[in-house]
Amino acid sequence: MKLIIDKENDAIYFRLDDSKIMESEEVEKGIVLDFDENENIVGIEILNVSSRSKKIDLNSFQLETA
């Protein structure tokens, strides 16, 4: 899994695996899901991140696993 933080474009992208993306769908304004050939979600893009919450700071990111 990869996490790409694009400060310049104010976006976050979660890539779940390296499958070829066959289709993308904006499921909500600024939320895009990428699908593989079997319609599995392989990527999640969140656009306009800073406008979604005043507490979001793309310069500081914490990762927690359970």
Q: Could you state, in order of their start, the residue ranges of all structural domains in the chain?
A: 2-51
In this predicted model, what pLDDT tens digit does every residue of 38-64 receive, in sequence order? 999 999 999 998 888 777 777 777 777
Structure tokens at 8: 């310049």
Mean pLDDT along residues 19-43: 97
Q: Which pLDDT score is estimated for 63?
A: 74
Q: Which pLDDT score is estimated for 55?
A: 73
Helix, strand, coil percentages, rounded to 5, for the chain: 5, 40, 55
pTM listed for this prediction: 0.83
Q: What is the mean pLDDT of the chain?
A: 90
35 close to 45: Cβ distance less than 8 angstroms: no
Q: Which pLDDT score is estimated for 27?
A: 97
